[in-house]
Amino acid sequence: MVEESMNNKVVVVGNVRSTTGCQRAFIAKFSSTGTLRWLFFVASANGTDLDFQSIRETGIAEDYLITGSVALPNQGRRVLLMRVNTSGLTPVTLFAKSLFSNGPTPNFPVVAQFGYDVAVRSESGKKEFYVCGANQYTNTLTDGVVFKTDSLGTPLAQRIYF
């Protein structure tokens, strides 16, 4: 959940699982008094599961970053970084990117990745986003991973923490 006090709004993200097992995500916008302004469900283009974990302000009014994971066909789960603008009657997706890192060696193939939180860094007129998450390997062990992207979500660097 994120509160934008400047505009007296609260924006929430979450997940809904259907009886068929497919998971959709949602974005909801509330007034400062708790009145629901709109509720928008998000499904991936290929019908696979979405899982939203967190939402953060970018420093621009009603402009947010969402992170979580998306299931991709034959690739397992991948970190999702999504930027949305909520100023209208529904959210507008500015970009949605899946981020991928390899394992530390070829002996550790990644089978799933998850994004848990995102931070925004503004410096000298440019923005960078840092997404923290986890790599899960074929042997079921996990490592922490941090992705650094530019303001368009293009990966610039990554670091794995054992």
pLDDT band at 22 (very low <50, low <70, confident <90, very high): low
More confident residue, 149 or 74: 149
pLDDT(91) > 60? yes
pLDDT(5) > 60? no
pLDDT band at 136 (very low <50, low <70, confident <90, very high): very high
3-state per-residue secondary structure call for the chain: CEEEHHHCEEEEEEEEECCCCCEEEEEEEEECCCCEEEEEEECCCCCCCEEEEEEEECCCCCEEEEEEEEEECCCEEEEEEEEEECCCCCCEEEEEEEECCCCCCCCCCEEEEEEEEEEEEEECCEEEEEEEEEEEECCCCEEEEEEEECCCCCEEEEEEEC
Average pLDDT of every residue of the chain: 86
Over range 118-135, report the average pLDDT.
92
pLDDT band at 4 (very low <50, low <70, confident <90, very high): low
pLDDT(20) > 70? no
More confident residue, 52 or 23: 52
Q: What is the pLDDT of residues 33-90, one digit of tens each?
A: 889 999 998 877 665 688 899 999 898 888 999 999 988 888 888 999 999 999 989 9
